Amino acid sequence: MSMILQFRMLSDENDNFVRDYEVMYDMTLANFHKFILASLDYEDCMASFFTADDRWERLHEFTAVDMGGGEDAPTPMDAVTLGQIIHNHRDRLIYQFDMLTDRAYYLELTGAKEAEAGFDYPRVAFENAPAPDQFDPDAVDSNEGSIFDEMMDGFNDFEGDDNYDDEY
């Protein structure tokens, strides 16, 4: 059995958007790029992955097209597997899918596990809200609010309850 990496993907354009991906450890970044496009129902496009630090600062770039040699040149996606660049829980990738307007998705490793029988990989393990429009950054989904606000609603149950002591 092979190792499966679990990633959570978020967008800064839509707080409701979440995708959880389960992908093979030995998957190339080029194949991950194709899988992401298909899962979002996006057309093929120029894109880059970046490794990122804990503040989402971009580190090393991986491009869909070989940009040529050189010390600071980006690495082609088809020459690198996820297992070569992802090593620790919470390692991060930025997936830039729109080079002109610098639009991107943010991926964080949330876990690793052995492949489970009966599942085909790669796969979308969880999804919430439609993806932002690939070509129009101003197109806004009609779903207002945030999935995180919805999840936190239960914590407001004690608001205005005089029997609840805030000091403890």
> Is there a domain that residue 86 lies in?
yes
Q: Is residue 133 part of a domain?
A: yes
Instruction: Please check whether residue 167 lies inside any domain of the structure.
Output: no
Residue 156 lies in a domain: no
* Predicted local distance difference test score (pLDDT) of residue 48: 95
Confidence check: pLDDT of 46 > 60 = yes
pLDDT at 158: 55
Q: pLDDT tens digits, residue range 81-92? A: 999 999 888 999
Helix (H) or strand (E) holding 97: strand 92-98
Pair of tokens at residue 149: 């606000």
The pLDDT of residue 142 is 47
**Residues spanned by the domain of 57:** 3-151
- Among 45, 19, 23, 44, smallest CA distance to 32 is for 23
Mean pLDDT of the chain: 86
Long-range contact pairs involving 17-21 (C-beta distance under 8 Å, separation at least 24): 17/128, 17/129, 17/130, 17/131, 17/132, 18/126, 18/127, 18/128, 18/129, 18/147, 19/124, 19/126, 19/127, 19/128, 20/110, 20/124, 20/125, 20/126, 20/127, 21/107, 21/122, 21/123, 21/124, 21/125
Mean pLDDT of 44-69: 90
* Unique residue bearing structure tokens 């609603």: 153
Domain total in the chain? 1
Q: Which amino acid is at 69?
A: G
Residue 163 belongs to some domain of the structure: no
CA angle 116, 30, 125 (to 5 degrees): 30
- Is the model's pLDDT at 144 over the cut of 80? no
The confidence score (pLDDT) of residue 64 equals 86
pLDDT digits (tens, 9 = 90+) for 92-143: 999 999 988 899 999 999 999 999 999 999 999 999 999 998 988 887 654 5
Say if 166 falls within a structural domain: no
Could you tell me the pTM of the whole model?
0.81
Q: Tell whether the model's pLDDT for residue 75 goes beyond 60.
A: yes
| Residue 131 confidence (pLDDT) | 92
Q: What is the CATH number of the domain that holds 81?
A: 3.10.290.30
64 assigned to some structural domain: yes
Domain assignment of residue 83, yes or no: yes
In this prediction, residues 156-161 reach a mean pLDDT of 57
The better pLDDT of the pair 100, 42 is held by: 42
